[in-house]
Amino acid sequence: MKIVKTGMAGSLESSDVLITVDSNPGKGRNVNLNSIVKRQYGKQILKVVDETLEQLSVKDAKIRLEDKGALDCTIRARLEAAVYRAAGSESYPWENLT
């Protein structure tokens, strides 16, 4: 997916994460993580971010995360939402959660 504008999702409340996705044409992925549990889970969070971006085939993007202890599923959901917004996409591939 191609990032064309700024996309944002999430919040700064406890157990959530605020993610901002910006365009970064031709310069790859630039992930900036700020987390209250960076020392404990930093690597795991970055792994989730990387996997999610891979799945969404995002090549160039600036991503900022301000994490307040979000679980992996929350990070994934917020990141997907922010990426879709930043790509200006109106159609979402809704998943069945059952």
In three-state secondary structure terms, 4 is coil
Q: Whose Cβ is closer to another protein: residue 6's or residue 55's?
A: 6
| Amino acid at the residue 16 | D
Distance (Å, rounded) from C-alpha 25 to C-alpha 72? 27
Q: What is the CA radius of gyration of the chain?
A: 13
Report, in Å, the least distance between residue 57 CB and another protein.
24
Judged by beta carbon, residue 18 or residue 53, the one nearer another protein is 18
Q: Tell me which residues touch another protein (CB under 8 A).
A: 6, 8, 11-14, 18, 20, 32, 34, 36, 64, 66, 68
Shortest CB 13 distance to another protein, Å: 6
Among 61, 32, 58, smallest CA distance to 46 is for 32
Q: Which is nearer to another protein, 45 or 68 (CB)?
A: 68
